Amino acid sequence: SICVPVLKRMEKVPPLLRKEVEVAKLQKELTGEVNRKIGERQREFFLKEQLKIIQQELGITKDDRSADADEFRSRLEGKVVPPAAQKRIDDELTKLSVLETGSPEYAVTRNYLDWATSMPWGLYSEDKLDLGRARKILNDHHAGLDDIKSRIIEFLAVGAFRGEIAGSIVLLVGPPGVGKTSIGKSIAESLGRPFYRFSVGGMRDEAEIKGHRRTYIGALPGKLVQALKEVEVMNPVIMLDEVDKLGNSHQGDPASALLETLDPEQNVGFLDHYLDLRLDLSKVLFVCTANSLYSIPGPLLDRMEIIRLSGYITEEKLAIAKRHLWPRQLERAGVPKNRLAISDSALRNLIEGYAREAGVRQLDKQLGKLVRKAVVKLLDEPDSKIKIGPKDIESYLGMAFWHPEQLLTGVGVVTGLAWNSMGGATLPIEATRIHTLNRGFKLTGKLGDVMKESAEIAFSYVNSHLKEFKGDPKFFDQAFVHMHVPEGATPKDGPSAGISMASALLSLARNQAPKKGVAMTGELTLTGLVLPIGGLREKVIAARRLKLYELIIPELNRGDFEELPDYLKEGLTMHFAKRFSDVVKVLF
């Protein structure tokens, strides 16, 4: 028989029993707590339902449908809603009153009414047509840009004369960082209108402009309707940023969708896909920005008034840095003005050595870097004051990115002028004879097709007129000529280097260096005519930056030159060429 140790077993029973009792107690407490909470919620629910029924019986409150409908009706008080829009809203309110509040259709209709009644129907802000005030705002916010300011003042003056500013579409074109977006804000501030900005760069879906049809789940109106809801008036200043970078995809063409929006003849009845109501955008002032005109569709460009912003010269950048950028960087870093200062000569060194681009973004970044490095010194020496001079710039920022450009001179070397969306630049052109074993012509410098054709025209024209221009008539018969346009890695295209390339070839044939300190630009034809070019302002700025004060430009660009501000024309010796023979008279 087996002996069972009963005593030992009995010793193990009490702890097990205690554990079971604890679990049972805990379960009882939890069950009691859950029942209590459920009971409270049920009681609260029953009381609320009873209260709601009593209030409805007494007419004290309304159900959700009635409350929503009253809210939408109250929003329309004081607004001038067009009859067609009013009828549509009334129909939707009637539909809302018969739908169940929990149904999906109720949510769709409610959202629609929310947007439709949020529109500022017939509400307009009063324009401030004080030209003195407008001038002060523009001058406070922007250094330089005198020609742009005068264009804006002219625009406001016409509105002041009429008594109202009509809707208009202005396109500000210029290199990055020259202040296009901030000018849009200044226009809005000087008019006293609300400002709304959205970027259309990379936008590929036309629904972003015109909205989605409300049959889709999660449908929304387009950006313009959203803008009107936010600004709460029908005549804001709306900025469409980066309009030259609009995309295009299988989902639609946003540039084409903008055609209706930006046409003053059509946008009186702008139709958003979501609202499906006619909105009057004819009083909206649209300000668009772009770096280049080439990628903007012609029909869209045709609807805009173009205002060109060019790059800044050193003196303008210096004024901008002193008045705007440097104080802003000190404020961001929390540094008192009396503890950190920078001299004018140091700013000039910084501009010419580290920030030579057309705009001022790079200049702002370099000033921020200066302030950060100075703050480290101020923390190390709490009682010190720092004055940054021209010799300190290199110790703070390292070696300069830009060095004084060496003007290439000699036989077969000419300085041309070029421009692109980033601003103007000088374009040295070099031509040399490699050997006389056979006739040939070679081009290098990553040139585009148009520029290659321009070089061939120059070669043909000079070759056929060597005797007239006192060159050796047989020079090119056995000469293999190589023409190069540095820098080799930078793509270049366009016809405006025609006279520059012809001058380099003629210099080579005459074995005579052209006149020093002269820069030129102009398209050349096979008959020797000099045709007009674009980007004259940018090219003049590029020439001044290199201290080139004698320029040859086409006679047909004389009007463009006369329109330039006086500070750009000051000190320049200009030669206006009708034919290539006029260029030769200046150079040789």
Q: Just list the catalytic residues.
A: 496, 539
DSSP 329-395: HHHHHT--TTTEEE-HHHHHHHHHHH--SSSSHHHHHHHHHHHHHHHHHHHHSTT--EEE-GGGHHH
DSSP code at position 482: E
Per-residue CA distances from 198 to 223, 227, 232, 237 (Å): 8, 9, 17, 11
Residue ranges with strand state E in 202-284: 237-241, 270-271, 278-279
Angle, CA 441 vertex, CA 439 and CA 504 arms, to 5°: 115
Q: Which residues, 6+ apart, have CB-to-CB distance to 445 below 8 Å? A: 484, 485, 486, 487, 488, 492
Query: First vs last Cα of the chain: how many Å apart?
Result: 135
The answer to whether the CB of 115 falls within 8 A of the CB of 275 is: yes
**What size, in residues, is the chain?**
588
Pairing of strands 195-199, 237-241: parallel
Cβ burial of 331 (10 Å; 0-12, 13-18, 19+) is exposed
451, two tokens: 């520029």
What distance in Å separates the CA atoms of residue 333 and residue 162, rounded to the nearest whole number? 47
What distance in Å separates the CA atoms of residue 324 and residue 144, rounded to the nearest whole number? 12
Q: Is 60 helix (H, G, I), strand (E, B) or coil?
A: coil
What distance in Å separates the CA atoms of residue 137 and residue 189, rounded to the nearest whole number? 8
Q: Is 416 helix (H, G, I), strand (E, B) or coil?
A: strand
Q: Number of helices (H) and strands (E), helices first, in the chain?
A: 22, 18
Cβ burial of 542 (10 Å; 0-12, 13-18, 19+) is buried
The answer to whether the CB of 508 falls within 8 A of the CB of 501 is: no
88, two tokens: 């549509």
Q: Around 192, how many Cα atoms within 13 Å sit in the side-chain half-sphere?
A: 11
What distance in Å separates the CA atoms of residue 407 and residue 400, rounded to the nearest whole number? 19
Rg (CA), the chain: 37
Per-residue CA distances from 33 to 38, 70, 133 (Å): 9, 42, 70
